């Protein structure tokens, strides 16, 4: 078995920006409520002309440039998204637009855990020697699926994309991981299909329809995250033979600042080692982890040799954590 290194990050620039004061004109909410309960001050939303594919291509291009690779050198592209531009998948279009002619590309759906699931999936291909260079993209445009009249959900989400380059290497820098599902809590967070019966002929009926808005039982998801995320991180750390005090930065899915604070407290991690950009982006689903990661790498906070924990949680319910050494 070969090893895996993470060698570059990138993100897409998304505008316009929608702040809490503007949102307060749409629904009965306030900047004070949103900041106190979530830590979010503003989110970014794609323009009407943009889609997930556009954001994913931009994030991947920036990650490849950071890694010093050309698209032609990429052999695998995994697009973690729950909001593809096409239900058949958007990864093929990303492959084409990138000019990654040699790469196999596919979508992976695991909601807000999608990026962590994607990195672990890509790593398996690299460790077996099947491929040598992969790009994992987390991209979501949840603004298309939010009920903008529902204050319980519309204040939380934003659009975005981030990406990371993985390369096969003699030394393994993916030190441990743990992925989990709890389908028994599936109803807590859904973007569900709703079809109307349409009789075709004799006793044959199909359904035709569309997807409902995002529906969430916020308190249940909150409890799930605060209890299970520290556990999944501990398991990944155990596999890596490390403890939380040996980790330089925790890069968690950005859903709520209170969740980040509670996880940090449970793991006895000082706040400055729990990265957050929630105030500026809100919850960008599969994109949130690679966006925070990219910001921290480009600002110089994360440096070669640093030990990182990446952890995601969300619809499914899904959760996962991985431990890696950067660079």
Residue nearest to ligand UT7 (CB): 218
Estimate to the nearest angstrom the gap between the alpha carbon of 252 and the chain centroid: 9
Residue 112 annotated to the active site? yes
Residue 277 annotated to the active site? no
Q: Which is nearer to ligand UT7, 255 or 275 (CB)?
A: 255
Residue 43 near residue 17, CB atoms below 8 Å: yes
How many angstroms separate the CA atoms of 167 and 174, rounded? 11
Q: Which is nearer to ligand UT7, 18 or 166 (CB)?
A: 18
Catalytic residue, from 20, 62, 256, 283: name it. Answer: 283
Name the minimum Å distance from CB 189 to ligand UT7. 6
Strands (E), the chain: 3-11, 17-19, 42-44, 76-80, 104-108, 133-141, 159-169, 174-181, 189-190, 193-201, 204-211, 215-216, 249-252, 307-314, 318-325
Peptide bond preceding 47 in cis form (omega within 30 of 0): no
Q: Which is nearer to ligand UT7, 3 or 218 (CB)?
A: 218
Where along the sequence are the contacts to ligand UT7 (CB under 6 A)?
29, 33-34, 37-38, 112, 151-152, 155, 189, 218-219, 221-222, 225, 255-256, 259, 283, 314
How many angstroms separate the CA atoms of 242 and 307, rounded? 10
Name the minimum Å distance from CB 256 to ligand UT7. 4
Catalytic residue, from 112, 154, 188, 324: name it. Answer: 112
**Residue 3, strand partner residues:** 169
Name the minimum Å distance from CB 39 to ligand UT7. 9
Name the minimum Å distance from CB 249 to ligand UT7. 20
Residue 306 annotated to the active site? no
Task: Look at residues 175, 160, 173, 187 and name the one whose alpha carbon lies nearest to residue 253.
Answer: 160
Q: Which is nearer to ligand UT7, 66 or 111 (CB)?
A: 111
Which residues are identified as catalytic?
A: 112, 253, 283
């Amino acid at each position: 078995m070969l090893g895996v290194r993470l060698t570059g990050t990138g993100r897409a620039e998304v505008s316009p920006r929608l702040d809490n004061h503007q949102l307060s004109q749409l629904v009965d909410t306030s900047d004070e409520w949103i900041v106190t309960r979530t830590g979010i001050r503003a989110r970014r939303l794609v323009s009407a002309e943009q889609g997930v594919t556009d954001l994913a291509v931009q994030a991947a291009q920036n990650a490849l440039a950071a890694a010093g690779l050309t698209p032609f050198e990429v052999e695998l592209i995994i697009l973690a998204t729950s909001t593809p531009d096409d239900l058949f998948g958007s990864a093929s279009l990303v492959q084409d637009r990138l000019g990654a002619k040699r790469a196999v590309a596919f979508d992976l759906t695991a909601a807000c855990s999608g990026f962590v699931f994607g990195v672990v999936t890509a790593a398996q291909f690299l460790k077996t020697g099947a491929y040598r260079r992969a790009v994992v993209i987390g991209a979501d445009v949840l603004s298309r699926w939010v009920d903008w009249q529902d204050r319980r959900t519309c204040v939380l989400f934003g659009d975005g994309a981030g990406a990371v380059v993985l390369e096969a290497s003699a030394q393994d820098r993916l030190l441990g991981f743990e992925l989990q599902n709890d389908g028994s809590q599936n109803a807590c967070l859904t973007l569900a299909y709703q079809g109307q019966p349409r009789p075709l002929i004799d006793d044959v009926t199909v359904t035709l329809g569309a997807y409902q808005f995002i529906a969430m039982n916020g308190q249940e998801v909150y409890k799930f995250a605060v209890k299970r995320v520290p556990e999944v991180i501990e398991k990944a750390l155990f596999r890596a033979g490390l403890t939380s005090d040996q980790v330089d930065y925790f890069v968690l899915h950005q859903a709520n600042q209170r969740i980040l604070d509670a996880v940090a407290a449970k793991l006895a991690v000082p706040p400055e080692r729990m990265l957050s950009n929630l105030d500026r982006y809100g919850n960008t689903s599969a994109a949130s982890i690679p966006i925070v990661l990219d910001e921290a790498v480009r600002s110089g906070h994360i440096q070669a040799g640093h030990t990182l924990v990446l952890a995601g949680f969300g619809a499914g319910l899904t959760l996962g954590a991985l431990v890696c050494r950067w660079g």
